[in-house]
Structure formats: C-alpha cells, structure tokens
Amino acid sequence: MIALYIVLGLIGVLLLLVLIAVIRTLCKPKKTSAWEPKRDPEREAVYAETLAKMVRYETVSRKGETQREKFLGFHKVLEELFPLVHANLEKIEIDGSLLFHWKGKHDDRPLVLMGHQDVVPAEGDWEHPPFSGDIENGRIWGRGSADDKCSVMAFFQAVEELLKDDFVPEQDVWLSSSNTEEVGGPGCPKLVDELVRRGVRPFLVNDEGGSIVTEPMAGIVGNYAMIGVLEKGQGNLLISARSNGGHSSFPPKNSPIVRLSKFVTELSNHSPMRSEMNRQAKEMFSSMAPYGPFYLRLLFGNLWLFKPLLVLLMPSISPQAAALLRTTVAPTMQTGSDGCNVLPQEATLTLNLRYIPHQGMAESNAAIERLAKKYDLSVKVIDAYDFCEPVDTGSDAYRLTEAVIGEVFPQLPCIPYVMTGGTDARHYQKICNACVRFSPVVYGPAQMKGMHGLNEYLDACSLPGAVDYYKTLIGRNR
C-alpha cells in the first residue's frame, strides 16, 4: 500500500506540474512573425544583374587544389563590379583568397565580413544551366547564387555604396573571402594568419551559416532570423575490416563485409552518442516557443519540465532534431572486393561525424573505436576538428547583430541557432570571441534544397535588405 501511495503521489505531483505549465502557456500571448521582404524593383534589378555576373564565372573548388589562376579571373569580375572598393581599400590576395582592409577612424573594434568565392560542383539536369546566371521571375539561377556569392555581392555592394557617399567607418572593416571553403581547404586559415601577423583581433566576425529562414520548423510560420551561435565539429573516420580473402563459393561467417554490416547496423539501431540539450539549443527552442502552435508553446516554453521528454523523443522525430542534440554519425563511402566472386582481403567504410560540445571529438571518436573493436575492426582518423566555442548571446557583439537586424528588418524575430554544418568562420575563433553565422538573405524550403543540390536560386527581393544589413552593421559598429 505504501508503494501505491508513493506512485499516486508522484502522479499527482506530475499532473500538478503539467497544470502549472499549461496555465503558464495560456497566460503568455502567442506571437507571430509579421516581417516580409519589402519590394524595391529598381534595386532588385541592379543587384540581381550584379550577382548574376558573379554566378556566371565558374568557381568550383577541388580538394587539394589551389586553382589560383581561376580565382584571379574571378577577381577581375569583382574589380569590374566594385571599382570603388578596389580603388580605396587595401587588397591582399593569398593563393586566390582575398582580404580587403578599409581603414576606419579607430581600430579597437574591427569588423570582419565574410563570404566564400568557391562553389560545389553542379551535376545533374538543371532547369537553368548551373552557371547561366539566368534571371527569370525575380530569381537569380545558378550555382553559388544562394551559397554563397549572394553574401559576397551584398557586402561588396554595401562598401561600394558607402564609399560613393564618402563615408568613413568609425572602426576598421575587413572583407574576407576564401576560395576553398567548400572543400575545407587552406584559404581561410591563411587569411587568418595574415590578420594574426598584423595583430588584428576582430570585435565581430559575420559569416554565412544562419539566414532569414521561412518556416524553420514545422508549425513555426513566417520568417525568422536564424543566427548561428554554435558550430559543430566534423570528422571523417575510416573503418577497416581485414581477412585472408578467398573464394566466394565457401564464405566464412564473419567476412570483412559481414563485420562492417553488423557494425553499421548496431551503430544505426543503438547509437553510442548521448543526447543532451545544451544551452544554445535551449535558447533556440525557448526563443521559437512563442511563435508556435499551443503544443510547441507548451513544450518549448516550459523546458524546466519537458526537457527530459524532448531529449528522449526528438532523436526519433527527425534527423534534423537528432542533430541538434547529439553527435551525428553518417556512413558515406564503402569499398570491398574488385571481383563479384572474390572475398575481399580488406573492406572499408567511411563515417562522417559532426561533434556536439557535450560529447566532443575525442569522446565521440573513442565511442566509435569501442564499437569497432567489438567487431574486430580498425579505426583511422582521416581528418577531424572539434566543435567551436559558442557565441555568448549576451555579448555586445551579438546584441549589435540583433540591433542591426531589428533596424533593417523590422518585426523579424531573432533566434539563436545551433548549426549542424561547417563554415570558414571556425578558423577565426582563435582571434575572435564572437563569430556570428548569419547571411541576411531569405531561404525558403526550395532554396535550402537547392544549396549543394539541383536548381539553386535566390529570390532577388532578398538583395536590397542584404546590402542594407551590411551597410548598417558597418555604420553602427562604433
């Protein structure tokens, strides 16, 4: 009986807590995102043609290749499009990557604006040729239009217009654009090394990553400024299984491919990676809560009660939800025998990991190694880097970003965002405590699919706001 009373008591307490959460939710008014891009046909047309000219110059990067001559050709396009930038700013070119220095009245709070020149390959059957730069129905089509020549165009254009007005910034401004971002190459590290050599410590670095996202989560309607404050790390591991090979007519029980298959099956069904909701994820969900339907306002608005439930259930809801809470592991490549009737002496599997702070690179790799040992597999780290230190959402740099967004995009909600992809901004972490990942353009579901996929495009209505964002950020950094 005592046990029964204890259980009933616990149920009563739980029901009371849920009732409190429901009342709290009902007492807080639901919010809506009212912001929509303001149309400015004249500016849209000019900026669209500028971006189209940049898209038409193919800048696909290749891993292990600098391709400096190709990018020098792209630099000529930039010089034609932005003559005042090239005439008035100091230009530093390092193996095809670019730095521009705009000297301000002071240099104690320097600002770095980032975007990359290079793009990923464009394969498959496109509606518009991938390097056509076609402008149709208010859209700029082509590889790089959304990722990430739009950002490069916008901050170059912002500086060009400010120079035309004889504006002098209060603080130094640096424009940073590498040519190896998409392949994780040495372009950006070399630019950072140059700033280290000059003793520059940026107050704020603004790179791509987050953006103005339409419906960032099911049930969250409207547009939101998703500001990237945490970037996960990344690693590629080679998992190998060896044997003496042999003829396929008398296969052993645990051939290399069988062992790899068992390993992947267990990895998929029983992940060794822990799910936790870190501070940045909690800030993200709490900030989004007021804009959702009642059930999301209840769950996200009362994390003091529902966090354990969400941590338990979210990894099963969607891959995107799982990626916010734990290190992800994705099998990406396999090798085996060269013959259909030959058992391989060695079979391999490549895993791509994205490291979360609560289970970083060392701990996540160790978890993979323990599981691999169970199936007599070896593990080799091909390349890896750990997660980045998060941006403090209470810092002056982050608040400046929010203030600029509020001024340029009135009524656009700001949401701190946990990034699952990688950016060049991570290289700036060693000299800057506030590397914000935010590209001030609108990405709807179609744009998100097009980046690194087919039929990439950007709506021209995004471009005036993007240019104004960079102009305002430069002007307000004092």
* Main-chain phi, psi angles of 344, to 5 degrees: -75, 140
**Rounded to whole angstroms, how far apart are CA atoms 244 and 228?**
49
Largest CA distance in the chain: 86
Retrieve residue 118's tokens: 């290079």
Listed residue (443, 434, 446) closest to 473, CA to CA: 434
Question: DSSP letter at 246?
Answer: E
Tens of pLDDT along the chain (478 residues) come to 777 767 667 777 788 888 888 899 999 999 999 999 989 999 999 999 999 999 999 999 999 998 999 999 999 999 999 999 999 999 999 999 999 999 999 999 999 999 999 999 999 999 999 999 999 999 999 999 999 999 999 999 999 999 999 999 999 999 999 999 999 999 999 999 999 999 999 999 999 999 999 999 888 999 999 999 999 999 999 999 998 766 666 678 888 999 999 999 999 999 999 999 999 999 999 999 999 999 999 999 999 999 999 999 888 878 888 899 999 999 999 998 888 888 888 999 999 999 999 999 999 999 999 999 999 999 999 999 999 999 999 999 999 999 999 999 999 999 999 998 889 999 999 999 999 999 999 988 777 776 778 999 999 999 999 999 999 999 999 9
The CATH number of 41-231+388-476 is 3.40.630.10
Where is 401: in which H helix or E strand?
helix 396-408
Cα gap 444→448, rounded to integer Å: 6
pLDDT of residue 247: 60
pLDDT at 17: 85
Torsion angles phi and psi, residue 448, rounded to 5: -65, -40
Q: List the structure tokens of 348.
A: 């391999």
Residue 314 has what pLDDT? 87
Q: What is the DSSP string of 81-142?
A: H-HHHHHHSEEEEETTEEEEEE--SEEEEEEEEE--S-B----S--SS-TTS--EETTEEES
* Consecutive H or E run containing 441: strand 435-443
pLDDT, position 108: 97
Domain ranges (residues) in the chain: 41-231+388-476, 233-385
Could you say which of 3.30.70.360, 3.20.20.140, 3.40.50.1820, 3.40.50.300 is the CATH number of the domain covering 233-385? 3.30.70.360
pTM of the model as a whole: 0.93
Instruction: Tell me if 65 sits within 8 A of 71, measured CB to CB.
Output: no
pLDDT attached to residue 448: 72
